[in-house]
Amino acid sequence: MHGFEEIDTGKEHIALTFGDVRCGQPVLARTHSECLTGDALFSMRCDCGYQLNEALRSIAEAGCGVLLYLRQEGRGIGLLNKIKAYNLQDHGADTVEANERLGFAADLRDYSMCKAMLDHVGISQIKLMTNNPRKVEALKRYGVEVNERVPLEVGRNPHNEGYLSTKAKKLGHLLVTHQDDEPPETV
């Protein structure tokens, strides 16, 4: 486990590697944004905890991989603001509208630290486990060589169905099992 501190923000991130990540081949990787409620408290209203588990399981199965655990709770708005956003969602807003009502953009995350973290552990190319094409683009923009996107679609349940469908519709997430919520036209 390697620890990093972002100079500008003081945020502390970690890279957890498994196996021979300096092998020169593309390495299975997960860049995971902190979600205290999902990752540590087993919340079912998002898919974060399930994705974290599945990513670690896949890395173990592959025998080699890296987890970048990024301290960007609540898509960058922080834990307390995320709790406020959840309250708005409990009163009808979707995940994007709730952020906007609190005065934030839908996604405030920054991936600029990832390249340096990967360089430090000797990884030059990755196979990224994500459903978020904007994450792939952001990493590439910062110079990370993403050879492949590996879908990471797990944990769908009745409590996160609406949340996942908003991610697909408004945030561009590629979710194979996404079904449009519109009711079928009656003939």
Ligand X SMILES: Nc1nc2c(ncn2[C@@H]2O[C@H](COP(=O)(O)OP(=O)(O)OP(=O)(O)O)[C@@H](O)[C@H]2O)c(=O)[nH]1
Among ligand X, Zn ion, none, partner that 33 touches (CB below 5 to 8 angstroms by kind): ligand X
Residue 35 as a binder of Zn ion (CB under 5 A): the answer is yes
Q: Does 64 carry a binding-site annotation?
A: no
Query: Which chain residues interact with ligand X by CB under 6 A?
Result: 33-35, 46, 48, 51, 72-75, 77, 82, 85, 95, 99, 130-132, 135, 152, 167, 173
Q: Does 100 carry a binding-site annotation?
A: no
Q: What H or E segment, with its residue span, contains residue 3?
A: strand 2-5
Cβ distance to ligand X smaller for residue 23 or 83: 83
12-18 vs 65-70, strand pairing mode: antiparallel
> What is the residue-wise DSSP string for 25-51?
S-EEEEEEE--IIIIIT--SSSSHHHH
181 annotated active-site = no
Q: Does 156 carry a binding-site annotation?
A: no
Residue 98 as a binder of Zn ion (CB under 5 A): the answer is no
141 annotated active-site = no
Identity of the residue numbered 50: Y
Residue 38 as a binder of Zn ion (CB under 5 A): the answer is yes
Catalytic site residue from 45, 71, 109, 149: 109
Cβ distance to ligand X smaller for residue 27 or 152: 152
Cβ distance to Zn ion smaller for residue 49 or 65: 49
Among Zn ion, ligand X, none, partner that 131 touches (CB below 5 to 8 angstroms by kind): ligand X
CA distances from 48 to 124, 131, 155 (A): 26, 12, 8
- Number of neighbours of residue 5 by Cβ within 10 angstroms: 10
Q: What H or E segment, with its residue span, contains residue 104?
A: none
CA distances from 33 to 44, 53, 90, 133, 186 (A): 16, 13, 23, 15, 42
Residues 46, 68, 98, 139: which binds Zn ion (CB under 5 A)?
46
Q: How far apart are CA 31 and CA 69, in angstroms?
A: 6
List binding-site positions for Zn(2+).
Answer: 35, 46, 48
